[in-house]
Amino acid sequence: MFFEQPPHVLRLIWKGTWRRKQVGKKVVYLTFDDAPSPTTTPKLLDILDKNNIKATFFCVGDNVRKYPDLFEDIKRRGHRVGNHSMHHLKGFCTDYDSYIQDVELADRVIQSTLLRPPYGRITLKQLRTLSKKYEIVMWDVITRDYNNKLTPEEVYSIVKRYTRNGSIIVFHDSEKAAHNMFGALQPSILFLKEKGYSFELL
């Protein structure tokens, strides 16, 4: 559970970052990290269209630079985008100035008020500075679709077990996560709809 759903102590440490939203009603927020990717984004967008769902894509600036047409397609189809840094840096392992500069470099191509720190790893000093400009969005449920030791069925079971009202759910729009993400996404959507959840943008 420590991995799939952040414990209360971490929620207190990173107070002010979004992990759940609209707790009082049956709504969830699908989010996808690491976009765009030529091997996954087009198919993912089609799945979301088929299910009439809008999601939030936290984009890596360097991927946006490489695949600008895919980035524009995400927005054209009505999804929201957020900043996931330029080079997917870990805040704990990156000095303050370099990390802030990397996020700001990504902002030049992404231009969003939303920011999700890669891996959720950000120092308090970095957080204090960036929260003056961005809404920092963590998560309530991380599917762990990036873990190749898991199966799509196990990823789906994480969604079933941990999702609750207001959950911000993380999948990954990347080649690394593709097998698990695509295998678990449609069953997860059907399950959540059956349970009465609606899907909204952050």
Q: Supply the pTM of this predicted model.
A: 0.92
Annotated active-site residue 97? The verdict is no
pLDDT recorded at residue 23? 75
Which is the catalytic residue, given 97, 172, 173, 179?
172
Check if 87 is active-site.
no
Instruction: Give the bridge partners for 66, in sequence order.
Output: none
- Confidence (pLDDT) at 11: 53
Q: Is residue 1 part of a domain?
A: no
Share of the chain above pLDDT 70, in %: 91
- Neighbouring C-beta atoms of residue 3, cutoff 10 Å: 9
The per-residue pLDDT for 19 is 74
Q: Is residue 58 part of a domain?
A: yes
- What angle (nearest 5°) sits at the alpha carbon of residue 149, between those of residues 145 and 151? 60
* Across 146-157, average pLDDT: 97
- Residue that has been written with the tokens 């009505």 in this structure: 78
User: What are 155-176's pLDDT values in tens digits?
Assistant: 999 999 999 999 999 999 999 9
Which segments within 62-150 are labelled E, that is strand?
Answer: 80-83, 114-115, 135-136, 141-142
pLDDT of 15 > 80? The answer is no
As for how many domains the chain has, the answer is: 1
Q: Taking 80 as the threshold, does the pLDDT of residue 145 lie above it?
A: yes
Asked if residue 3 belongs to a domain, the reply is no
Please determine, for residue 86, whether its predicted confidence score (pLDDT) is greater than 50: yes
Q: What is the pLDDT of residue 56?
A: 98
Q: Which of 65, 64, 119, 110 is nearest to 89 (CA)?
A: 119
Residue 14 has pLDDT above 60, yes or no: no
Average pLDDT score, the chain: 93
DSSP state letter for 196: T
Mean pLDDT of 77-85: 98
| 81 belongs to a structural domain | yes
Residue 2 lies in a domain: no
Banded model confidence at residue 109, pLDDT cuts 50, 70, 90: very high
* Structure confidence at residue 2 as a pLDDT band (50, 70, 90): very low
Measure the CA–CA gap between 30 and 186, rounded to whole angstroms: 12
The arithmetic mean of pLDDT across residues 139-154, rounded, is 97
Domain housing 154: 8-199
Which is higher by pLDDT, 45 or 120?
45
CATH number at residue 184: 3.20.20.370
Confidence of residue 1 (pLDDT cuts 50, 70, 90): very low
Section 45-57 average pLDDT: 98
